[in-house]
Each structure stands twice: as structure tokens, then as C-alpha cells.
Structure 1
Amino acid sequence: MTASLPKLYLNLYWHMHQPDYRDILSGEYVLPWTYLHAIKDYTDMAYHLESNPDARVSFNFVPILLDQLEDYVQQFDSGNIRDPLLRLLIKPDMKALTQDERCLILHSCFKGHHEKMLAPFEHYQCLYNMYVKLEPHGKSMFNYLSGQYMADLIVWYHLAWTGESVRRNYPEVQALMGKGSQFTLEDRQTLFNLIADLMRNLIPRYRALESAGQVEISTTPHYHPILPLLLDFRSTRDAMPYAPLPHSAQYPHGRQRAQVHIAEAQASHRRRFGKPAAGMWPAEGAVSHEALTLLAEHGVMWAASGEGVLANSLYKSFDTSELPPRHEYLYKPYRVGNGKDHIICFFRDDHLSDKIGFEYANLHADNAVADFIACLESIHAQNASDQSPVVSVILDGENAWEYYPYNGYYFLSQLYAALSHHDNIIMATPSELATQALRPDSGLPIGELPAIAAGSWVYGSFSTWIGSPDKNRGWDLLCEAKQAYDAVMREGTLSDVEIAAASRQLAICEGSDWFWWFGDYNSALSVSSFDQLFRRNLANLYRLLGLEVPERVRQAISKGSADADAANAGTMRRGQAAEYST
């Protein structure tokens, strides 16, 4: 009689992040993506777990995202709305819109994936068709686009950005969608109040899921910096040996700054979830040996990165020119470091993660789920050891669903049902797996990595954030601002309140997102938005330090491209540049 194979453990891990979209000096939001993703993706993702109590997954919430979610709740509670688009939703008289307000509505309220978020709604499509006809006429089009047009457009934009779970379970949304047009102030206030309720309940819903043992919630260094680059620009060359680097040899006092981001993240997590996070997703899965050691020194038990980093680290650790088949080395956690400062690192299956992120949106949910399960069953069947394979599927938990029919409703519902009731698949969290793997005879494999090759989950390198002229120029501007910050701190001329404000602004500037967007592989419109916001943040830092803003900060860093390939740009990246097989 043939012995049965050990079970397969699935570490399904969703990463949630938005950079700080606020102008700190004015308090105004420059872009609305935090609250829009909150009412669509963060709401739907909680709903799917609440609806599938046997499913178990993990979520990573970056503290700066949580800061903004809480800030929106404070806006609703105080009535002082600092997001201009949200404020316009409840403007009493839409006939009295200024030219700037009309432009903001038009430039904002058609943003989204048209095929999945606009075309399915007849009235919304009609508004778009009118705009397309009139747009070539320039400002004269405002003679034809009435206040009622603007009211209907801003309502439909927010309806399109509600989650599928909201559309199915909230009668007020169904009533508005059924009405279709001629929305009144009362209609707009109803939608506004619903948005407020969704956002008030959001963090408590995830906290309840974790308290029930259904999810694990992890964190990221507070403002989402690329830790290895703060620590050492030269770590870039582990994966890109000939990459040009910024003119500045190092980020000034980068280790101290990295420590601040880690410590603040743990303080944030403890305040919101009652305990420090056991694990951290380093921003963009960006790791180096020094960065992982630093996390371990701060009591972090586990971290995670991409498959490319693991492959490069195995080459580096064992001085080999050839790796075994990937199923022999990928499907297990690895211990990095020795003694009390070791850390467990999970490495995602790029192939499976990218299937969810980029491919399954184009398949019927039945076929997509069947393919995913078949891939896991193949991994399970390939296992020739007496230990259970651990498959880590880690990806963006917010941006992919825009490209799925019904915001991924059917895919996620069927996926969780299939996984949680599969005879040979056990859904588990990273902390459970890390703890179990460290026990002798646990039935789980664990590998050892003497060395880590610095890199990220995107192509196993840092090419998305450094190494090109535009990205390096961004780093040089940041390094100059940091040197100015250090000089003012040495002078001791600022009050404690002023120091706190300047330090917060510096941390925002250190986030990874600004560098992500620099480059001609991204669309010109997106590059312009993030370029301007990054330079606004730098300018605000100089102002908070009491210094003149250098002229070079006023000059655009990157222009992007009108011909950017949408499949290789935007809010998500594949783990590997080319397709490969399992």
C-alpha cells in the first residue's frame, strides 16, 4: 500500500499599500486613491474572508496606509473634508462649480479600467461618450456640461469604485445604480455617508478577522522605504553589477533612518492591533543581508521576498553555477543569520503570484480557479520528500481586481472555497509556518541561507527604483534634502514640534513609490502626478526646515511616455520579465 504524500501548505499573502497622498503643509489630499481603494478593494477583501470562514490568509498593511485610513475617518467625524474630490461629492450647488472644480471632476472621474469599471454601466458610458465628443472643443465644452452632468459623473465614478460586496449588500447603492441619472444632493449625501461608514468599519473588520484566528496581519517599515538602498546604494549591484548609481555615495545616515521606519512600524502595529507584528513585508520585498539582520535585531520573526532573490542568494551562498529544479528549492522557508538575530524568510512563487496578478482576469473564474488548484496539485505531486512543501503566493491585494470582472468577486469566492476544502492543501499563516518549521521533526522543511543577494520581488533586482538617470536624479535630490535636514538638526534651531514635522516629511520623501514611477516605461500622466507630488514633498521639507527651496526641486525629474506598454507599467509589476514554466 502506497503511503500518502504529506499535505501542501499554502501561504497566501495579500499586500496592501498606498503612499501618503497628502500635502502635509495644507493637509489637503492631492490624489484620492486611498479612499477609493478602501471602498472597493479593502472592503471586498475583508468580505471574502468573512464569507469563507474556513479560508485562512495573511494581509500586510503598510502603516502609512493605515494612517491615511484613520485620517479619512477623522475627516468624516469632524466634517472637515480635506480631499477635494470627496468634498465635491457633497457640494450643495453643482451649478456653482468653479472652473478648477469642473476640471478636477472631469480629469478624475474617468480614471479606472474602462472595460471593467465604466463600460458595464450604461449611464456612466453615456457620460463618457458626451465627454469624448466635447473634449476636442477645449474650455468651450463647459458651456454644454451642466451642473447636473457633473453631479451624475461624480456619483457614477464613486459607484464604479465601490466593491462588488457593497453593490450586492447595500440597498442604497442598488437604488442609486437603478436610478442611473439626475442625482440630487440627497443622493450624493447618501453615497457620501455610505463611504464614511465603510471606512469607519474597515480596520475593525480586519482586527476582528485576526482575533478570530482567520488571518494574520503583518506590517512594513512605516513609510515604505527600500531598506537596502537606505543602508547601501551599492547593494544594487548584487543583481545589476554595472548599474550606474546616484552621485551621492551613500544615503546620509541611512541605517539610522531605516531603524526609525522599522521602530515606527512596530509602534503603529501595536497601537492598532494590540501587539507588535511577528512579521514584516519589506517594501517591495526588497532585502539584503544587512536589511534582514536589522529586522531580526528589532524582533521581527519572519520576512518575505521574491523568487528571483532566492535564486540569486543560492548562487551567492553556495558558489554554484546551476540550481536544482525549482520545486526542490523554492517550496520551503529559509533561515537567514545565526543566533538570536536569525530571521525566517519566505520566497514567493512568482509564477503563481503573477497568474493571479496578471492572467486570471482574462479567464472565467471557474477556469482560473481550476488552473490555480491544478498548479498546486502538480507541486504536491512533485514532492519526493517526507516533508510538506510550503508554497508562498504573495502579491498586491488591491490593484489587480480593477481588471477582473466584478472586482474579482467570483474568482475570490471560488478560490477560497476550493482551497479551504481541498483534501491535500492546508491554508496557513507565515507565523504558524515559521514556528512549526523551526521545531525538530515538524514535518516542514527549512533551508539555510548563509548569504542574501540584495534584490526585490520585481525581477530580483532594484531596477524599478535605482540605476537609471531619472531614478538616480530623484535619489540625488533626496540626498541633498537629507543633508540639509541633518545640518539644521545639528544647528538645534527648531522646536520639538518643528523637528517632528520635518522628520515626518523626510520619512514621506524616503518612500519607494516616487522612484517606482520615474522612467519612460510608465505613462506620462502617471509619471507627472507622482513626479510633482515627490517634488512637492521635497519642497515642503525645505520649508519646514526654514530653508529656501532649491530651483532644481522645481524642475521635472521624469516625463514618462505616451507609448508606455500597459502590461509592463503602472501600479503592478511581474516578478519576472519573461514567461517561464513550472
Structure 2
Amino acid sequence: MSGQKLLLNLYWHMHQPDYRDLTSGEYILPWTYLHALKDYSDMAYHLELNPAARVSFNFVPILVEQLQDYAGQARHGDWRDPLLRLLSKPDLERITDAECQLIVDSCFKAHHEKMLSPFPHYQRLLHLYELIEPLMQSGQFHYLSAQYKADLLVWYHLAWTGESLRRKNKVIQDLMQKGLFFTLEDRQALLDVISETLQGILPRYKALLEKGQIELSTTPYYHPILPLLIDLQSAHDAMPDAPLPQSATYPDGHTRAIAHVEAAKTFHEKVFGQAATGMWPAEGAVSHAALSLLAEQNVAWAATGQAVLANSLSKLGLAHEHPQQYLYQPYRVTNGQQDIVCFFRDDQLSDKIGFEYARQYASEAVHDFIQSLEAILASSGDETPVVSVILDGENAWEYYPYNGYYFLQELYQALAQHPSIEMTTFSDILGMQQAQTLPQPALLNDICAGSWVYGTFSTWIGETAKNRAWDLLCAAKQQYDQYIHQLPAAAKDKCQQQLSICEGSDWFWWFGDYNDTFTVQSFDQLYRRNLSNLYQLLGLVPPESLSRPVSTGGGQAENAGTMRRGQS
């Protein structure tokens, strides 16, 4: 193994759907700014702390757009997020019943073991609420004092601060030390920290990009499942017996897919000052048609899941039994005229970070990860293995102690110092191949359509509620196509934006009885609201079908359903 290297692509995917009501500009759910405060901030901090580490990030444009929006709200102090507006409200005694309901419904939403239990004052607020919850259910919201509401708002936001803020910021430290009886001045001081953090997120990543420490990629703008937009029947490639929506196809889906890709490329370059060389198709969802579309749009590389590669090799009659035989190399996919290089996720290593290592001591987890890479290298003979570890860069950390602080710190240090592991990026690999210091990628003549989750589209289609959601979208798109040409230019733009939001993958992700009721209800209501807004923007009355829930949930998915494993 002397002199031989393993090339590691560590790739963090950052994504939130659009949580705004487009007609009012109000935020319906707070997850974008909360993850910015906790995860986007911490993930930048670890690289700022370890300049020898190199990784890649994928930022979905609609997330970036919301981060820009929050930064603008912070600059002007004009909050369109109801929780931030309540945090800044001078008098919490006279808030409405709906605002009281929002506080108690929202401010205990955190992983209790890691984000609530460590803080005795926050725990006490929960125990007090549990004692009087029956009164809340009967509408007696003002049984809770203004001081209780102030303390709960403050603790909720303190619990969602990243570990870097807790270690560096004196305001956060002082508030956590104080613990209770927070004043308006305390709340304003916390809001100032939140404002500064939100305004700093994108400049920090842009600085890391300019230093060459990270690569940034993008995703089709509103995170749609490209293969399904292009052809709903592509779901049968990996799920031949799955029931599909009544709608045979998504109207003019290929054109819509191109629009998402073109918009993403333009927006990414405008924000970060550099064009994105590659793309993470939403949910790693690919098909031969989708990859051809990306290649035609001059996207040099894309990434997806291990099972997609295994299914594709099986479809072609090629060896796919052991990952060591096929996984640790990029492949070239061609439509005969344009090529795109495809990288494939190591499911085992990615899922260990996403699901397993949170339950281990940081040093043990890092040791296991390094040993796994060393074993891949030892089994590679004379080849240079290219290992792609790809996962959610935001939702995993609330299950780790200290938001993954010790794990990420030790992981980056161990990888950067390892003599046989080179932390690299996807574009670096392409550069090495062009310089002929790495072999050219093997040709993959066909792709079995699927995603990084199980190698199928089962998370987004093929189940009763998911199929109904597609039928509702297809019906709305038919009306869009019929009436959009009658509208003036500004109204057309608004309608296209609203349609794009409805095409995002997240709505379909949450539908199904394996997710918890409250989360499904939140996304179900927002999806139907978005479709209703589209009808109204077209000058039409929303159909009665949009008044009925698509899905009710009722299950208990792993990690609250925010993440999936690559293999079932």
C-alpha cells in the first residue's frame, strides 16, 4: 500500500424546500433558518477550523434563495417568519390565541435526547406544559404567562444554535447560563446573533470556495425528481410491478425539467461567482434520459446511489455482486453525442455517518471509518479507488452529541493527516482523468432509473397517497398549460414560480403511512396550499379535491423521517 492513494469524495447535501406562502411571503415552517443557525453554520466552521480538509457541498437553489431572503429580513429587521417575529415582539402578554398555539406547537420540536434533555431549564418548561396541556387543548392559551412564552421562545432558539456559536459567542453563553426570566433585551440580543449568523452563511461558503477548500454543486432549482417529470413510467425500470398514478404522464415534463436545470445553473453562478461543474440530481434520481438532459446542459458530472449502479450493471448483465468489483470508480454515461461522468455513493459508509456513528464515541466512529477506507484501499490491487460518501449535511447532527462537533472535528483531522487517503472533490477527479494521472472512466451504456434510496423511486411514487399527489399535480399542470398564455408577463412569472414549487420532491417524500402524523400533516397542508395558490394565480377556483388531505401518516420513521438509508 506504500505510495498508493485512496481518493475520497466527502459530499454533504444541503436542502430545504420552499416554506413560504408565495401569495403572502410568510414562512409557514421554520426549518430553513433553524438549520442555518445550527447546521449550515457548524459545517462551515469545521472547515474553517481544519483548512487541510477538502470536501464538497451541494446547495439546492431554492434553499439558497431562502437563505438570501432571511439575510435580507435580518438586515431590515422585518421578519416574515412568525417565530422570529414573536421572538422580537415587545409585549407577549397580548398576542393572539393563534400565536400562543404556534409557540407551544413549535417550540418543543427538537430531538429531545440531544437538544432538550441536556438543558434543565428547557426541560422544566416542557414538564410545566405537560401538566397544563389539557387546558391548552380547550383553548385556554393565556393560562401560560408572557414570561413562560418568552423563556420558551428563547430556549427553543438556544437549542437550535450550533455548537460553534455556543463555544464562540458570549451572548449565547450568557443566555444559557442565565437560564430563565429572559427579558426583552435578552431576546433582542439573541435575535442579533441570529441575524448576524443568517447574514454570514453564504459569504462563509463562498470564501471557502474561493480558497479552493470546497467544491460547490447545485441541483435542479426546486428539487424535482427529473426522471419522473420526464417520464412517470420510468419508475417501472426498478419497480416493474408498482402501481402508478392515473395520469399516464406529466404534461410537457421534459421542458419543465430543462427549466429547472437552466435556472439552477444561472442562479448558482450568480450567487457564488463560479459556475457549478456538477450536479446532484434531486434525491440522486437518474435515468438515461435525465442524465442525457444534464449532459446536453453541459453538466460535467452527476452523482447518485450505489443501488442504481448495481441495478444498471445487472440490467447490462455485468458483475455486481461485490462492491469492491464495481463501486469505487466513476463511470461515463453517453447518449451518443454528449457524455456525463457519474459517481456512485458508498451506501454502507454514508449510512454509517447518517445513522450509526451518532451512537458511538467520536474516536471509535472515526477509527471505524478510517479502517473501512483502509480495507477498501488494501483490496484495490494496483487501482486507485475513488470512494464517494454522500449524505444529508444537515439532519444527521441533531442525533449526535454536541451536534456532531467532536465527530466532525476528529474525522477531518484524521482524514487530512492520513498518508494514504486524499480528500478530494468530483471536479478534481475529472481533472486527474484529463491529465491522465487517473484512468478514463469506464463506459456505462445504460442506466436503470432510480434514486439513492433503495435504487428505486418508491419514496416518491408507487403508493396510494404518493400517486394521488401526482394526479393532483398533473391536473393542475393541465390547467396551467391551458390558461398560462392568457396572462400578462408578471402574472406568468408568478405562476411559473408557483408551479415549480409544486414540482419539488419533498411533498411526495412525506406522504405515506410510515411517517409521523404531525409532520405529514404539515407538509400535506403546505402542498395543497401551494396547488391552491397555483389555481388562484391562474384565475381559477381550486378544485374541491384540494380540501381533502392527501395523507395522514401515522408511522414512526427512523430519525423522524428526515433521512433514509441507501439500502432497505
Q: TM-score higher than 0.5 here?
A: yes
C-alpha deviation, 1:438, in angstroms: 4.3
1:377, 1:167 → 2: CA distance? Answer: 35
Contact 2:71 2:195 in 1 (8 A): yes
Conserved? CA contact 1:505–1:540, under 8 Å: yes
Q: Distance in 2 between matches of 1:549 and 1:199?
A: 36
Residue 473 of structure 1 is matched in structure 2 by 468
1:305 equivalent to 2:304? Answer yes
In the alignment, is the contact (CA less than 8 A) between 2:460 and 2:505 conserved in 1?
yes
1:336-375 matches, cutoff 5 A: 336-337=333-334, 341-375=338-372
SS at match of 2:243: coil
Q: Which residue of 1 aligns with 2:454?
A: 459
2:267 is the counterpart of 1:260: no
1:17-32 alignment runs, 5 A limit = 17-32=15-30
**Code of the aligned partner of 1:266:** K
| Contact map agreement 1:40 1:162 (CA 8 A) in 2 | yes
- 1:448-527 aligned at under 5 Å gives the runs 448-489=443-484, 492-527=485-520
SS at match of 1:228: helix
Q: Cα distance, 1:241 vs. partner? A: 0.4
Aligned to 1:333: 330
Query: Is residue 74–residue 198 contact of structure 2 (8 Å, CA) maintained in 1?
Result: no
SS at match of 1:474: helix
Matched, 1:536 2:533: no
Task: Give the aligned partner of residue 562 of structure 2.
Answer: 571
Q: Is 2:387 the counterpart of 1:396?
A: no
Shift of 1:443: 3.3
1:338 and 1:427 map into 2 onto residues whose CA distance is 31
Q: In structure 1, what is the Cα distance between the partners aligned to 2:417 and 2:140? A: 56
Moved more, 332-341 or 78-87: 332-341
- The one-letter amino acid of 1:327's match is Q
| Contact preservation (8 Å) 2:221, 2:263 | yes
Match of 2:97 among 88, 94, 99: 99
Structure 2 spans left out of the alignment, 5+ residues: none
Unaligned runs of 5+ in 1: 578-582
Shift of 1:136: 2.8
Following superposition, the deviation at residue 340 of structure 1 comes to 5.0
Rounded to whole Å, the distance in 2 between the matches of 1:557 and 1:551 is: 13
Q: Which residue of 1 is the match for residue 241 of structure 2?
A: 242
- What residue in structure 1 maps to residue 44 of structure 2? 46
Question: Residue type matched to 1:576 in 2?
Answer: Q
Alignment CA distance shift 1:428-1:340 (3 Å): farther
Deviations 1:365-398 (A, max 9, x none): 01111110110011111111x2210000000000
The residue matched to 1:95 in structure 2 has which SS?
A: coil
What residue identity is the alignment partner of 2:392?
A: D
Per-residue deviation at 1:325?
Answer: 2.2
**Structure 1 stretch 446-455 or stretch 156-165: which is displaced more?**
446-455
Shift of 1:324: 4.6
Q: Which moved more, 1:568-577 or 1:419-428?
A: 568-577
How many Å separate the matches in 1 of 2:446 and 2:26?
45
Q: Which amino acid aligns with 2:442?
A: G
Aligned to 1:580: none
2:478 and 2:526 mapped to 1: Cα distance? 21
CA distance in 1, matches of 2:270, 2:483: 31
Residues 474-510 of structure 1: CA deviation (Å, up to 9, x unaligned)? 0000000000000002xx3211000000000000000
Residues of 2 paired with 1:87 and 1:288: CA distance? 44
After superposition, what is the alpha-carbon deviation per residue over 1:557-578, rounded to whole angstroms, capped at 9, x for unaligned? Answer: 00101xx23327511000000x
- Alignment correspondent of 2:545: 552
Q: Within 1, Cα distance between the matches of 2:375 and 2:404? A: 25
Q: Is the 8 A contact 1:458 1:576 kept in 2?
A: yes
User: Within 2, Cα distance between the matches of 1:545 and 1:324?
Assistant: 52
User: What secondary structure does 1:369 align onto?
Assistant: helix
| 1:395-430 CA-partner distances (Å, limit 9, x unpaired) | 000000010000000000000000000010000010
Alpha-carbon distance in structure 2 between the residues aligned to 1:472 and 1:574: 22
TM-score calculated relative to the size of structure 1: 0.96
Q: Which amino acid aligns with 2:266?
A: A
Match of 2:87?
A: 89
Deviation at 1:141, TM superposition (A): 5.6
Aligned to 2:486, the other structure's residue is in SS state coil
User: Deviation at 1:94?
Assistant: 1.2
Q: Distance in 2 between matches of 1:369 and 1:445?
A: 31
Deviation at residue 436 of structure 1 after TM alignment: 1.5
Q: Name the SS of the counterpart of 1:172 in structure 2.
A: helix
Q: What CA RMSD, in Å, does the superposition of the two structures yield over aligned residues?
A: 1.2
Amino acid at match of 1:447: A
CA contact (8 A) 1:387 1:444 kept: no
State the SS of the aligned residue for 2:205.
helix
Q: TM-score under structure 2 normalisation?
A: 0.98
1:97 aligns to what SS in structure 2?
coil
Contact preservation (8 Å) 1:387, 1:445: no
Contact between 2:292 and 2:335, CA under 8 Å: does it hold in 1? no
Identity of aligned residues (%): 61
| Match in the other structure for 2:427 | 431
Separation (CA, whole Å) in 1 of partners of 2:216 and 2:139: 51
Paired residues for 1:222-233 under 5 Å: 222-233=221-232
Give a deviation string over 1:329-359, Cα, whole Å, max 9, x none.
1001111005651000000100000000000
SS in 2 for 1:82: coil
Q: Which residue of 1 aligns with 2:150?
A: 151
- Is the CA contact 1:438–1:446 (under 8 Å) kept in the aligned structure 2? no
1:125 CA drift (Å): 0.5
Q: For 2:561, what is the secondary structure of its paired residue?
A: coil
Classify the secondary structure of the residue corresponding to 1:94.
coil
Q: How many residues align?
A: 567
* SS at structure 2 position matched to 1:345: strand
Once residues 324 and 399 of structure 1 are traced to their aligned partners in structure 2, the CA distance between those partners, rounded to angstroms, is 31
Q: Which letter does structure 2 place at the counterpart of 1:477?
A: L
2:230·2:257 contact (CA, 8 Å) conserved in 1?
Answer: yes
